[in-house]
Structure 1
Amino acid sequence: MLATVRKSDEGYIARFERTLRHSPEEVWSYLTDNDKLDRWFSELSVDELREGGFIKFDMRDGTFEKFEILELSMNSVLEYTWGEDRVRFEIHKEQEGCRLILIEKIARITSHTPKDLAGWHVCLMVIEALLDGKAIDRDEEWPLWHERYIRLIESEASV
């Protein structure tokens, strides 16, 4: 299921939602434990897991971009900057697992927006597969979802 994208006062909000058959603690570990984080987004690492701490993005050229952690509630909320945008993960306990919500607050739509949205979509697929003991190839899936997000953003921009 594609993310929903809607206009907001500050730009746009993309929202992804997944129901997982795993505990909030298990899901949280994939967002914050560097060994597990590396399995679904190898460029990211947690530098300091606290509000005001940082998530680092390895640019793969010897440099790193630092994203500040804006909100942190263990096993529940992780929000950090993402360039000009913000990324927020919310985990809500449910009877048979949890609901994982990813919200990207997008300042403005650019040609890179569908790439980011496809990336987050595939990352969520990979997290779910890893939790289920399976594997998904990010590089194989991404082009398929990228095309869908290009169409979604084009339709959103025409409204």
Structure 2
Amino acid sequence: MGQMLAVIQKGKSGYVARFERQMNHPVEKVWAMLTENEKLALWFSELRVENLCEGGTMAFDMRDGTFGKFPITDFQDQSVLAYTWGEDHVRFELHDAANGCRLVLAETIQKINDHTAKDLAGWHVCLNVIEALLDGRTVDSRQDDWKNWYKKYVAAVKEAAR
């Protein structure tokens, strides 16, 4: 799989990490992975859609009996889903393309910290898993995949923060 690291750039307020993937599946199928809870659970078990609309909410299971509420800041059906992520912000965009669609995930990061590389490696692996699920492939070990990408993101984040 020829996967590119996210491009991390310093922006006006903090940093933006941008992932881009060509998916060999139509927008509707990829959109369902991002927005339907039973499909979301397959690649991000803590995350749920509470109400899918601008001003709606994503819920994050903190695994301690509480749920973080992440307001949906931008929503266009089959095209854009954006929500706050703690102090940060994530935005998924789907664009029609030959043989499927292009998925863009941009995470706006206020401050680079020890968690940044972990989170970015996490999103990277999530996108790998979405792709594998849609392709009907099994993912052998998310943990091994994550460790491999984590090392690369540690270096990339260090470079971006210079």
1:29-74 CA distances to partner (integer Å, 9 max, x unpaired)?
0000000000000010001111111111111111110100001101
1:86-137 CA distances to partner (integer Å, 9 max, x unpaired)?
0000000012100000000111111110011000000000000000001213
Aligned equivalents of 1:124, 1:31: Cα separation in 2? 10
Give TM-score scaled by structure 2 length.
Answer: 0.95
Query: 1:1-150 counterparts in 2 under 5 A?
Result: 1-136=4-139, 137-150=141-154
Aligned equivalents of 1:133, 1:152: Cα separation in 2? 31
Q: What are the ranges of 5 or more consecutive residues in structure 2 without an aligned counterpart?
A: none
Where has structure 1 moved over 6 Å in runs of 4 or more? none
Aligned equivalents of 1:135, 1:44: Cα separation in 2? 21
Aligned equivalents of 2:160, 2:77: Cα separation in 1? 34
Aligned equivalents of 1:96, 1:8: Cα separation in 2? 32
Aligned equivalents of 2:50, 2:142: Cα separation in 1? 24
Q: CA deviation at 1:143?
A: 1.2
Aligned equivalents of 1:95, 1:142: Cα separation in 2? 29
Aligned equivalents of 1:81, 1:10: Cα separation in 2? 15
Aligned equivalents of 1:14, 1:124: Cα separation in 2? 14
Question: Could you say what the CA RMSD is over the residues aligned between the two structures, in angstroms?
Answer: 0.8
Aligned equivalents of 1:66, 1:135: Cα separation in 2? 31
Q: What are the ranges of 5 or more consecutive residues in structure 1 without an aligned counterpart?
A: none
> Secondary structure of 2:94's match?
strand
Give TM-score scaled by structure 1 length.
Answer: 0.97
Aligned equivalents of 2:156, 2:75: Cα separation in 1? 30
Sequence identity (%): 56
